Amino acid sequence: MNHLQQECWVLNAGLIRYTASLELQRRLVAARKSGAVPDVLVFCEHPHVITLGRNGKLEHLRAGNHLLDQMNVEFQPADRGGDITYHGPGQTVGYPILDLVQHRRDVRWYVEQLEEVMIRATADFCVRAGRAEGRHGIWVESDAGEEKLAALGVRLSRWITSHGFAYNVSTDLRYFDLIVPCGIADRRATSLERILGRTIRGEDVRRRLAFHFGEVFEREILFVTIRQLEEALAGGNLPPGLFENTHARAHAEAIKETRA
């Protein structure tokens, strides 16, 4: 493998509209296909938006246009797998742009690896999460039964991945009442803050997700800025060593900090 094949660039894009994230993913998928960039993991948050996957059912949207307008919630179709979901502030969204030819050409394996990343990151906060048979995402047990902490919905094009996962950190869970989350009527969503009963910084969660992403997918994590990424997309490969390698630092901080 060359140095690009061994790396994964991580970008924190901040709060961006869902449609802007689609355009960013489109550009990154094209760049990954051409080999202009290595694997990339984009973190972001979205303003309130409900998205419906290719196999989703519109009847799982419980709100009409008038209510959505009143609550300032967009509705967008999505070219990903999965059903209906909500994105909003306080939710960490991860969009991995990976070449599975360099990993393993197996969609089920890929989804399970994403779940493993989130399970390990959640464990760093002393919360036990796991999988549920027949359902994607990660789940936690509560007095009310299984609750969904994170959702998944992916797309592949010539083994290049896009879309990804949505992890509820401090999400306003009332917005999930507008939908049947992931089409499962008898299960509700939860958040890390709700589970722990205290404030959690999104940056802390992103750092742990990034570390475990590198660990699970066996890639060196390199954090980049949007300017650096734009330069790579405009001018082809950037020289190795340009970006700060924070993989070891993220690991050290994850161990050093007092666990929640």
Catalytic residues: 182
Distance of CA 184 to the CA centre of its chain: 20
Question: Please, what's the b/e burial string for 103-135 (b: 16 or more CB within 10 A of its CB; e: otherwise)?
Answer: beeeeeebbbbbbbbbbbbbebbeeebeeeeeb
Least Cα distance to 153 among 63, 93, 213 occurs for 93
Q: Are 192 and 169 in contact (CB under 8 A)?
A: yes
Handedness of CA 22, 23, 24, 29 (dihedral sign): positive
- C-alpha distances (whole Å) from 235 to each of 11, 28, 34, 225, 242 are 18, 13, 13, 15, 14
Hey, what are 144's tokens? 């009310």
- The radius of gyration of the chain from alpha carbons, rounded to an integer in Å, stands at 18
Return the amino acid letter for 204: D
